[in-house]
Structure formats: structure tokens, C-alpha cells
Amino acid sequence: MKFKLPRNAGLKGNERGVSPAISSVILTGAVVVLVIVAMNFAINLRDSKIAENEFASVRQFMQTAAVQIDDIAWVPWRAQTFRYSRGYGSMSFMPNMLNFTIYFRNSSGEYRLGSYVSGVLAFNMPISRYNLYDSYFELIYPTDNSLADCFIFSGANAPVARVYAIEKLSTGSFVRLVLNPCVRVVEANVSGKRQYKLYLPILYESSSRGNNPTVTFTSRQISSSVKDATKIRVVVTTTPAYGASFFVKSPQGPNTIIDKEIDLGGASTVVFYLSRVEVAVGVNP
């Protein structure tokens, strides 16, 4: 007596034999995809941390440079070089960004003492590497963020430069650290007469450049002038391409950063010190 196998018995057996191989291929593919996703995540996280650490390092560098400008500006031909970490960001000098106009008033009326154009030093980090948020603004130096709209500081130890962080997409796809000059006002009493001293360093770009992660400041020229006044007025404006909101949170106009009058409390002697500080980016010292 003969027995016949079912017609599909061999096919079913083959199916049972192939299914483990198919499962292995599927599992291997899934593992490969997970590994690729994990690797991409790890790489992006690593790059983000590197950029964040670089930004924090240059933040400290800019604060140190702002403090040291006070030592450089008032000693003729003094120079100092600072080094910073560079990876994803770049340091640049932005010329003709600020216009300082100084007025004085006496019994005869108001007169313009002079108008002075300065650039600023900026560290630019692409937002594709590290970002905060659009319209972010933080004053870094001086450390009191309530002074974020100040360009005039009072006291013998007051700064002559300020540093802040800003992200403003309308001016480029960067989060920036910016160092800009400001005015220091010092009140004194000389031989029984009230005296006010104004200090202002003007930053301008050196013609020599390189690719080194350095910034060199050099005091090139110092001048002074003396006036008798009852009031001082300081007006700081900027270029329309960036606007006043690039420098302060609450500007006094689209291009007017500040327009402030200082009452001297009576007839006083005003001594105005102006220093031209050359800024060289990337030069090998």
C-alpha cells in the first residue's frame, strides 16, 4: 500500500527553514539603523558640546580683553596680544559701527566737542553649530545686566569697554559675542574746583591680518582737550544696516543708541581723553 505526501508538504518545510534567515536579516537591518541613528545623535551632541564650550571660552576671552583695554589705551604705543580657542566660530572686526558725538554746554550755549567713529570686535558662531534664540541679549561685562542699555559708566574703576552676547537673525545667522568701547566719566575736585574727566577709546582695524587665533590691541595715539562746562551731552548712533537694537535692549531711536545729558551741577572743568586703539585680528605676534 502506497502513501502519498501532501502536495505542499515540501514547500511548507522550506518555508519553515527560510524564516529564521529572514528574521536574522530583518533584525540585522534594524540594529544597523539603530546604530546609525545613535551615531548621528552622538556626533551632533559632540559637535554641540564642542561649540558650546568654544563659545564659553571666547566669552571669557572677550571679558578679559575688555578689562585689559583700559590698561592699553592710556599708555602710548603699548600693545598686548590675546589668544582664544577657535573651532566652529570666527573672530572679526566690524568697522564704522559706532559714532560717538560729545557736546558741552556753558553759559554761551551748546557746542560740539567732536564726533568719533569706532568699530567693534565680534566673535561669530553659526547658529547651525550653537544657538540660543532670536533676539537673545545678555550683558557680560560689566556683569550687572541692569546696565544693558548703558554706554556711559561713572567712577574711577568704571569700564571703557563692554561685552555682550546677542542673537539677532535679521543681522545674520550667528550668535555673537561683541566688544564695543564706551565712555567713562570720573568726577574729581582739583584745588577746590569741580573737574570731570571723560575717557573714550576708539577702536579701528589694523591693515595687517592673518589666520592665527589671536587679537592684538595697540594704543596708537592719545589726545586730550579741556573745556569749561555746566553740562555734557553724549550721543551714540550706529549704522542703519544693524540698527541701535544690535547694541542695547531699549534704544532711543532706530539708529540712536543713547542720547544722554549729564548735569555737572555748576561750572566745571571738563577734560576729555581720546585714545585710538588699533585692533589686529589673526596676526602672529
pTM for this entry: 0.83
Q: How far apart are CA 29 and CA 42, in angstroms?
A: 20
Average pLDDT over residues 234-243: 96
Which has more confidence, 183 or 15? 183
**In this structure, is residue 69 part of a structural domain?**
yes
Q: Which range has the worst mean pLDDT, 8-12, 147-151, 181-185, 225-229?
A: 8-12
- Contacts for 263-268 with beta carbons within 8 Å, 24 or more apart? 263/230, 263/231, 264/194, 264/196, 264/229, 264/230, 264/231, 264/232, 265/194, 266/194, 266/230, 267/106, 267/194, 267/228, 267/229, 267/230, 268/193, 268/194, 268/195, 268/196, 268/228, 268/229, 268/230
Residue 44's pLDDT is: 58
**In this structure, is residue 263 part of a structural domain?**
yes
Per-residue confidence band for 38, with pLDDT thresholds at 50, 70 and 90: low
Q: What is the pLDDT of residues 99-122, one digit of tens each?
A: 999 999 998 999 999 999 999 999
Average pLDDT over residues 189-211: 87
**In this structure, is residue 108 part of a structural domain?**
yes
Residue 12's pLDDT is: 52
Q: Which range has the worst mean pLDDT, 22-36, 48-62, 66-80?
A: 22-36
Question: Could you give the number of structural domains in the chain?
Answer: 1
Residue 48's pLDDT is: 59
* Beta bridge mates, 274: 200, 223
* Beta bridge mates, 199: 184, 273
Q: 241 lies in which domain range?
A: 45-281
**Is the pLDDT reported for residue 92 higher than 70?**
yes
**Is the pLDDT reported for residue 256 higher than 90?**
yes
**In this structure, is residue 4 part of a structural domain?**
no
Per-residue confidence band for 35, with pLDDT thresholds at 50, 70 and 90: low
Angle (nearest 5°) at CA 275 between 270 and 277: 160
Average pLDDT over residues 176-204: 93
What percentage of residues in the chain have a pLDDT greater than 90? 68
Mean pLDDT score of the chain: 88
**In this structure, is residue 184 part of a structural domain?**
yes
**In this structure, is residue 158 part of a structural domain?**
yes
**Is the pLDDT reported for residue 203 higher than 70?**
yes
**In this structure, is residue 179 part of a structural domain?**
yes
**Is the pLDDT reported for residue 208 higher than 80?**
no
Q: What is the CA radius of gyration of the chain?
A: 31
**In this structure, is residue 29 part of a structural domain?**
no
Residue 205's pLDDT is: 94
Per-residue confidence band for 26, with pLDDT thresholds at 50, 70 and 90: confident
